[in-house]
Amino acid sequence: MTTRRKFLSGAAVAAPAALAAPSIVHAQAPIKWRMQTYAGAALGEQVTKPAVDYINAAANGEMEIELFYADQIVPTGELFQAMQRGTIDMVHSDDDSMASPTPLQQFGGYFPFATKHILDVPVLFNQYGLADIWKEEYAKVGVEWLSAAGQDPCNFNTTKEIKSVADLDGLKLYTFPTAGRFLSKFGVVPVNIPYEDAEVAVQTGELDGMAWSGITEDYTVGWADVTDYFLTNNISGAWIGSFFVNQQQWADLPDHLKKLVMAGIEAGHTYRNQWYWGGEARLRAQGDKLKLSTVPADEWAEVENAAKEFWTEIAEEGEVHAKIVQIFREYNEVINKAGPPYTNG
């Protein structure tokens, strides 16, 4: 009995302490990141928000990413600097639009005729070595490159019909810096304005249209409401864009949350693959806002041949440039030999 009393007495004393223990454990505040995408709100709903929603829902309160759309914190051209100094923690953009200070700047976005379809981009990064180059170059400037993926092709939606290469001459188009540099060879006048201003700029006559996207984006963001024609020829088969994080923020993130962020990004890639691939076909076949036009293939070959010269021009700008252009050449040689469906012909 004495032993039993001592046991019960000890248990009675110990119990309150055991019950009180949880009250002194404080929940850790969630890690909060601010992220800005190159895309406006309507497009961002499809191309960036799915990844952010996945991360926030799966983080179990440990992490929260607040998403901002094009130009909401800083202009798109200042995204890189803002991320580098920590004003923004995470970015979804192409290297071209965000004015990357690395040799990679010209290859993000739409590098002329480097790709033919959306899946070319992950293949180039994961099987042909671009991922290693991107990771290495951004590590030098205090940014963690996470992942790249493809999106839509770069077609033309305009107020004037394009029936020949000569019709490009004099067109004022909203486009990417490198695409604009290339298209200027055909008389295009590239115009650089904030993303959300492009629609109004067409209505006021400041722009004749856009060389910025495929037809899915034209319908999604309202550009199909202010332009009349869609040129089925493109100057690139897929946009190349990436997710980036401030290097210190990434280093400080626990490993399990790093894996979660990567899982969310990959889930976003998968969503965009089907959203764009299906949208491009459906809206060309069933869309009622834009009239389709096509420059004959033998004439458009003039533009494709000019791209080969452009590649040589870019390759001469540096060692990294030359390495990337060589990868594009090797990959294009492979898919051209493979034929359809890897090539358009």
Q: Does domain 156-236+289-338 have CATH number 3.40.190.170?
A: yes
Give dist(CA 319, CA 3) in Å, integer.
82
Return the amino acid letter for 242. Answer: S
**pLDDT by residue, tens only, the chain of 345 residues:** 444 444 444 444 444 444 444 444 445 799 999 999 999 999 999 999 999 999 999 999 999 999 999 999 999 999 999 999 999 999 999 999 999 999 999 999 999 999 999 999 999 999 999 999 999 999 999 999 999 999 999 999 999 999 999 999 999 999 999 999 999 999 999 999 999 999 999 999 999 999 999 999 999 999 999 999 999 999 999 999 999 999 999 999 999 999 999 999 999 999 999 999 999 999 999 999 999 999 999 999 999 999 999 999 999 999 999 999 999 999 999 999 999 999 875
- Alpha carbon 288 to chain centroid distance? 27
Q: Output the CA–CA distances (angstroms, integers) from residue 230 to 138, 154, 189, in the order listed.
A: 36, 11, 18
**Tally of CB atoms within 10 A around 20:** 9
Residue with tokens 């993000």: 108
Q: Is the full-model pTM beyond 0.85?
A: yes
Give the CATH number of domain 31-152+239-286.
3.40.190.170
Domain ranges (residues) in the chain: 31-152+239-286, 156-236+289-338
Burial class for 322, CB neighbours closer than 10 Å (0-12, 13-18, 19+): middle
